[in-house]
Structure 1
């Protein structure tokens, strides 16, 4: 008889184990839902992301658009350009008068950040002024005029009239 009784108890014991495991999992999930999240590190003050578009007018009109992540300052920082699918198109890093551009398998370095930005976008962009504009401060840049009226809503438009061809830079920041 002990063998028969053992067969009856085993399935019951197994069922009870499964119920206890279920209750333990349920309690663990409930406790996890009550837990307070750990405070995250503060966002970098000079950090922006969103969409960037550049239109260059002329005989051979060019346009460029991408998602972007920008950090740092005009003296030291980085810019990552991403496709609409989130694939990295190019990464530009600069510091101490040196800049490096990584695009696909190619890596280029230069003493001129402006030169590498021109290689990526097709025209010169006033980096120092751009950082000021993104902070909502008007800054002068030869040939460029920035419209900061939409910066509180995360919108920036800048237009270059000189030198030709004209160029329009549009930025929409992600909140």
Structure 2
């Protein structure tokens, strides 16, 4: 009888996880644009983000926990910071409202200074957020994989 018995696995509650495509456009003098596939897990306090090229190459991995953030690029270059917000600003050239982003992905209208999120397409896996203040203007588009 013990040979047929199956062990029961206990696991932690499932953490938040999203994947899909994202595009970030920053309207400054150089007008920067970036797009990639992504996998996002966790929360604004503890989580990770992996950016992947259309060919499946890992472009970068960002992990944060307990007031510490680390970004590792495909060239194995690593940046660290005590602030996730500051590290993202260094990497992207703009401030991204991480706490609000997690709320938006859950369909909640979270506020972030200068940002407006359009959640009308979130049921279809689409999110659009624009920052108008402070300059430079920025647009974040997310299309979730179902």
Smaller-chain TM-score bracket: 0.7 to 0.9
- Higher alpha-carbon Rg: 1
Q: Which residue of 1 aligns with 2:4?
A: none
Report the RMSD for the aligned CA atoms in angstroms.
1.6
Tell me which residue corresponds to 1:98: 68
Q: Which runs of 4+ in 1 moved over 4 A?
A: none
Total equivalences in the alignment: 135
More helix by share: 1
For each residue in 1:102-136, what CA deviation from the matched residue of structure 2 results, as whole angstroms up to 9, or x when unmatched? Answer: 11221111101012112332211000000000000
Select the structure with the greater relative contact order (CA < 8 A; seq sep ≥ 6): 2
Matched, 1:80 2:50: yes
Q: Of residues 17, 20, 24 in structure 2, which corresponds to 1:50?
A: 20
| Aligned counterpart for 1:131 among listed residues 102, 105, 108 | 102
**Which residues of structure 2 form unaligned runs of 5+?**
1-10
| TM-score, normalised via structure 1 length | 0.74
Following superposition, the deviation at residue 83 of structure 1 comes to 0.7
Which one has a larger percent strand, Structure 1 or Structure 2? 2
SS of the equivalent of 2:23 reads strand
SS at match of 2:99: helix
TM norm structure 2: 0.88
SS of equivalent to 1:132: helix
Q: Which among 104, 109, 117 is matched to residue 80 of structure 2?
A: 109
